[in-house]
Amino acid sequence: MNHCDTTSLLSYDEALTQLTDAITALASPVDKALLETLGAVLAESIESAIDVPTCAMSSMDGYAINTADLATSGVTTLPLSQRIAAGSAADALVTGTAARIFTGAPVPEGADAVIMQEQVDAVDHQIRFDARPASGSNIRPPGNDIRRGTTILNKGCRLRPQDIGLAASVGLQTLPVFSAIKVGMFFTGDELVEPGQALVAGKIYDSNRYTLHGLLESMGCEIIDLGLVGDTLAATRDAMLRASTQADLVVTSGGVSVGEEDHVRIAIEQLGELRLWRLGIKPGKPLAYGQINDTAFIGLPGNPVSVFATFCLFVCPVIRIMQGCGWRKPVALPVKADFDWSRPDSRREFLRARLVTTKDNQTLVQIHPNQDSGVLTSTVWADGFVEIPENQTVQAGEMVNYLPFAQFF
């Protein structure tokens, strides 16, 4: 039986559309040294000014030859006329000779194949072989990897190690990237104390600050951390005002329900515009969204699991759009369930889950046994969400949609 009043719940898709429609890219371009660009968003598409490689290169240790010099049948014998190591320049190949050559060395003009050293008998400055390599064998032609003038990286991509390596391979020392967006954060709750302090009766340690810090850092944001804020309207208003004057986006945890100790909602109403959503998702029913002057605001629920989940589902898209890389909904992987889910809920559920491989090499997805939104352990145990649509049950063996955490941030 479902006791939840679902009449005014906003669906996940609708909330996401409303939220992301209101956000625009706001980062500005700066040039950064290549080694400082990991995770940054590229501000312009990049074209290569050179061919890579710039000339024909050997892809093997062996001997450069001209296939026109091969014996018509049987063994070919060729004298050696030069030695070309990687990093040196080559002379043109003398007709009727071979050149000793190494991986990454330039292929001499006049040679059209490299024969592997394993296929050759080399004695007294000459080589003998019966292989008949085709023209072009073991040679990387100029532009084999990149042709001059082609786009190698697209504006809006988030730079990964291999992207930075590719930029280096065309000789770039710097890249134009968007500056980091500034995210202000604070955490409400009189029950909260920081790790390191004594845990007196009624108090709990603040964990949301640390989870959010890590999430924002891994997304490449500049963090303005205002720390803990007590449950009073004055303190909440003051923190909200300070955060909003410094940041592009303010993210808070707790205090967005409609209880008398929940002041975030009223603070935003007084300082700017607020939309308070009751979302049709689990975890994370209350979510506040608003604006103070030009600064966007997202008020997450207080429960640690809800913070993690709503950050993935709503804050990540907002940040990615602000950063200039846009947002694509994560691609769900269809995986066989290794669990039963017999309690249908009118809200869409994002269960903490992880993939396992069975002895017979099947991939299955398991869910954490305790899906309570206060059980932070479940997010550590898990590596993704299973998304269960509204009002559905699942039986072991059925396919479900799995969303790896890594796709969000």
List residues near ligand AMP by CB under 6 A. Answer: 187, 189, 191-192, 204, 206-209, 253-255, 257, 301-304
Residues with Cβ < 8 Å from 192, sequence gap 6 or more? 203, 204, 205, 206, 228
Q: Which is nearer to Mg ion, 299 or 302 (CB)?
A: 302
Residue 316: CB minimum distance to ligand AMP, A: 19
From ligand AMP, Mg ion, none, interface partner of 330 (C-beta below 5 to 8 A by class): none
From Mg ion, ligand AMP, none, interface partner of 192 (C-beta below 5 to 8 A by class): ligand AMP
From ligand AMP, Mg ion, none, interface partner of 58 (C-beta below 5 to 8 A by class): none
Contact 314, 46 (CB under 8 A): no
Among 143, 254, 301, 330, binds Mg ion (CB under 5 A): 254
From Mg ion, ligand AMP, none, interface partner of 303 (C-beta below 5 to 8 A by class): ligand AMP
Which residue intervals of 48-97 are DSSP H helices? none
Distance CA 277, CA 194 (A): 29
Nearest to 314 by CA among 92, 9, 13, 78: 13
CB atoms within 10 A of CB 96: 12
From Mg ion, ligand AMP, none, interface partner of 187 (C-beta below 5 to 8 A by class): ligand AMP
Judging by beta carbons within 10 Å of its beta carbon (0-12, 13-18, 19+), is residue 48 exposed, middle or buried?
buried
From ligand AMP, Mg ion, none, interface partner of 204 (C-beta below 5 to 8 A by class): ligand AMP
Region binding Mg ion by CB under 5 A among candidate stretches 111-119, 120-128, 168-176, 185-193: 185-193
List the end-to-end C-alpha distance of the chain, in Å, as a whole number: 36
Residue 264: CB minimum distance to ligand AMP, A: 8
Q: Which is nearer to ligand AMP, 48 or 303 (CB)?
A: 303
Q: Which two tokens stand for residue 266?
A: 């009223």
Q: Quick check: 272 binds Mg ion (CB under 5 A)?
A: no
Phi/psi-derived region of residue 308, left when phi > 0, alpha when psi is between -120 and 50, beta in every other case = alpha
Residue 188: CB minimum distance to ligand AMP, A: 6
From Mg ion, ligand AMP, none, interface partner of 323 (C-beta below 5 to 8 A by class): none
* DSSP-based three-state secondary structure for 185: strand
For the chain, the residue count is 409
Residue 234: CB minimum distance to ligand AMP, A: 17
Q: Which helix (H) or strand (E) holds 216?
A: helix 208-218
From Mg ion, ligand AMP, none, interface partner of 82 (C-beta below 5 to 8 A by class): none
Q: Quick check: 284 binds Mg ion (CB under 5 A)?
A: no
Q: Which two tokens stand for residue 104?
A: 């990454």
Residue 391: CB minimum distance to ligand AMP, A: 26
Among 133, 189, 283, 301, binds Mg ion (CB under 5 A): 189
Q: Quick check: 304 binds Mg ion (CB under 5 A)?
A: no
Q: Which is nearer to ligand AMP, 32 or 347 (CB)?
A: 347
Q: Which two tokens stand for residue 233?
A: 């309207």
Phi/psi-derived region of residue 284, left when phi > 0, alpha when psi is between -120 and 50, beta in every other case = left
Residue 357: CB minimum distance to ligand AMP, A: 34
Distance CA 193, CA 191 (A): 7
Distance CA 99, CA 81 (A): 6
Q: Which two tokens stand for residue 123?
A: 């004695």
Residue 273: CB minimum distance to Mg ion, A: 22
From Mg ion, ligand AMP, none, interface partner of 257 (C-beta below 5 to 8 A by class): ligand AMP
What is the pairing mode between strands 249-253 and 182-188? parallel
Residue 354: CB minimum distance to ligand AMP, A: 23
Residue 279: CB minimum distance to ligand AMP, A: 14
Q: Which is nearer to ligand AMP, 66 or 253 (CB)?
A: 253
Total residues interacting with Mg ion, rule: CB under 5 A = 4
CB atoms within 10 A of CB 355: 16
How many Å is the Cα radius of gyration of the chain? 30
Binding site for Mg ion (CB under 5 A): 189, 254-255, 302
